[in-house]
């Protein structure tokens, strides 16, 4: 370990240097308990894995002056829409970007000054307390009710669909 110049050292003592561990010649295999063989499992409440998903929280401040919450707690709206944005980005196999958040906030009408009354009433119940980790199931529900094929569209197409008929963005199975 390095030491400051004022610390006396024995000049006759051998200096220790770094040595690499021996090279492994055999192939690496996923044999540890936490490793998954094959592909990521899918199913209810498993979500969609993607890289650097927490970056979506860094982008939320770009929407501070554009969100129209209509009685929904800001932290609840952010938690739910960030979860939806992270799913959208993971569907493309990339980290989240501002367009994922734009799509998520658009789908639930948070970028609309006058969202449809039916949607505003639905989201009031859907987003209640989803910021809490104790309400993970509810957060997954509001993410899973959005049609996956709609999430794969460009954010401008999602906005156009919201304007035409916002109900088409949601699966009837999750309502």
Q: Using CA atoms, how far apart are residues 33 and 91, in angstroms rounded to an integer?
A: 27
Sign, CA dihedral 121-109-146-82, equals negative
DSSP 8-class letter at 168: G
Max Cα distance, the chain (Å): 83
Can you give the pTM of this predicted structure? 0.74
H-type alpha helices, 14-154: 55-59, 74-91, 98-107, 117-126, 136-144, 148-151
Q: Could you tell me the two tokens for 164?
A: 């035409």
Asked if residues 80 and 122 have their Cβ atoms less than 8 Å apart, the reply is: no
Listed by start position, the domains of the chain span 55-174
pLDDT in tens, 17-69: 777 777 777 777 777 777 777 777 777 667 666 778 788 889 999 999 999 99
User: pLDDT digit string (tens) for 68-102?
Assistant: 998 899 999 999 999 999 999 988 888 899 999 99
- Contact by Cβ (8 Å): 50, 90: yes
Over residues 142-158, the pLDDT tens digits come to: 998 999 899 999 999 99
């Amino acid at each position: 370990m390095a030491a400051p110049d004022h610390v006396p050292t024995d000049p006759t003592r051998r200096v220790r240097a770094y040595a690499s561990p021996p090279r492994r010649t055999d192939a690496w295999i996923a044999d540890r308990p936490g490793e998954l063989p094959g592909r990521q499992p899918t199913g209810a409440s498993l979500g969609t894995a993607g890289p650097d998903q927490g970056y979506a929280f860094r982008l939320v401040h770009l929407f501070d002056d554009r969100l129209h919450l209509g009685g929904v707690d800001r932290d609840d709206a952010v938690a739910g829409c960030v979860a939806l944005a992270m799913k959208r980005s993971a569907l493309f196999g990339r980290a989240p970007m501002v367009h994922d958040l734009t799509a998520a906030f658009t789908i639930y009408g948070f970028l609309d000054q006058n969202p449809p009354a039916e949607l505003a009433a639905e989201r009031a119940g859907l987003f209640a307390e989803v910021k809490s980790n104790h309400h993970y199931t509810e957060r997954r529900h509001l993410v899973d009710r959005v049609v996956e094929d709609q999430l794969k569209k460009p954010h401008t197409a999602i906005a156009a669909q919201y304007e035409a008929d916002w109900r088409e963005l949601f699966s009837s199975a999750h309502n």
